[in-house]
Structure 1
């Protein structure tokens, strides 16, 4: 078990496709940083998407990591085995009035935004370019919410970001480490309002990426979150959740992304950058290190 001074790192892939070079970079950085600091390296299987995640892809994760020479503590944490924990935290947020049921379908959202957006006043977008959810459901009465839920309408639980921010008395921020193996962080102000009211759970799955990752990091006592730059701005929402739930804040390091030939970040659909295909084509773990910029 770890002591308060023991660094704890984690690699948290989803088994909904094969690992690619970007995953290799993140896994290698976490494992080697843990070894360098005398810390622990944990593997987490983020499999809350029961429709897309498979045991075959999960086994592929284990095979790819073993081939890279990476070892991890057994057993890994599998998110699908902890839905009760996420539900308990969600119920707490519901009781605190910090989430609300959102009933609008994707088509209704698009229609609403199209009606209210003008050339001179663009509807707000999050850092990924996705339009914010319209806030009409926030204004529903408790009675109307219960009626619609009881009638069987599909809904998602969304975080009321404004209400959550109102519970915080200090400026929200996180500590971003300045480089690999660094213990020198800079303070980055967090602006979760840039994301709008994000989904924290759905009717049939009592969690989402943001909620489960925050609960897991706290449960596993993660001290260092080392992950790709594409999740840099998502840290703001996770810091907000940590703050309102009373969880400790890890240190963060967002590493460079491994890009494809077109200059975009890699996707699991791009088979030519998949570790299994590269391995079958004769690549070695040393080749992978060079390909991801670790030399």
Structure 2
């Protein structure tokens, strides 16, 4: 696929972060993208999601290329590296700010934790974190601007209520087409952005978030089919809001099942799931990895 760049063809992407070594869960997602791209006569693209410069390292990026090549995957070159495109995300953030939908917040995780503790039954977002419990109206815009200018740590949040109202006004009720991998049939899923509250779009020291970067990247790369783990399915609701506000196309989505360890946890770098590099060192073949990944 490396030499094929016909943008009229369906486009799929695998988008790992170089903050650790790839494991079987990553292999499953990468191989599914490859298989679906091949079946559709489409393109396979690679994106390096390295917006967290403190945790992402060159050796992990090099390991991604090594692992994918060992698995037999091919993709269009060059890969898109997010850290090369902060200006794109800044432009999108500026457009949202111009619509009056972005504000700076200064509450720490401790502040949020204490506020939630005093409100029994306060909801959590789909990732399990407390929905942001403070109202934008609790601080004037002038005071927010003063604190930013003074160098205080801050997060830039999306005013979800206003954003959703504007998104629905421009695009109608929000929902996406979820494609079943086995049957190819698509079903409309109704979006629920309110479940996320006022999500973070950037921080003082990180110029974008996953949510903002992914919708900009998918549009820039011409992605037509997003194939990713089921754990990211709820985030699609946020992505639809941003796509509507920024006038970006919405891809088709397929959220595949996750691989679990012996304790029923999803495979993860954070819990030390066995890496593809280790499997390779222990003598596993690419074919065995495909079998272990459920393919």
Query: Structure 1 length as normaliser, TM-score?
Result: 0.95
Runs of 5+ consecutive residues of structure 2 not aligned to the other structure: none
Aligned with 2:260: secondary structure?
Answer: coil
- Spell out structure 1 runs of 4+ moving beyond 6 A: none
Contact 1:272 1:278 survives alignment (8 Å): no
Whether the aligned pair in 1 keeps the contact of 2:163 and 2:245 (CA below 8 Å) is: yes
- The one of 175, 178, 198 equivalent to 2:177 is 175
- In the alignment, structure 1 segments of 5+ residues that lack a partner are none
User: 2:157 — aligned with what?
Assistant: 158
Higher mean displacement: 56-65 or 171-180: 171-180
- SS of equivalent residue, structure 1 residue 264: coil
How much has 1:60 moved relative to structure 2? 0.4
Residues 1:145 and 1:2: Cα distance change in structure 2 (over 3 Å): same
How many residue pairs get aligned? The number is: 288
Q: What is the TM-score with the length of structure 2 in the denominator? A: 0.95
Structure 2 Cα separation of the partners of residues 288 and 125 of structure 1: 36
Q: How does 1:23-62 map to 2 (within 5 A)?
A: 23-62=26-65
Shift of 1:158: 0.6
Decide which moves more: 60-69 or 270-279.
270-279
Q: How does 1:19-168 map to 2 (within 5 A)?
A: 19-115=22-118, 117-118=119-120, 122-167=121-166, 168=168
Task: Identify if the C-alpha distance between structure 1 residues 102 and 208 changes in structure 2 by more than 3 Å, giving closer, same or farther.
Answer: same
Say if 1:10 and 1:222, in contact at 8 Å, map to a contact too. yes
Deviation at 1:74, TM superposition (A): 0.9
**1:237: which partner in 2?**
238
| Aligned equivalents of 1:139, 1:171: Cα separation in 2 | 29
RMSD: 1.3
| Distance 1:135-1:177 versus aligned 2 partners, 3 A rule | same
How far apart are 1:140 and its partner, in Å?
Answer: 2.2
How much has 1:272 moved relative to structure 2? 5.2
State the distance in 2 between where 1:272 and 1:237 align. Answer: 28
Matches of 1:148 and 1:272, distance apart in 2:
41
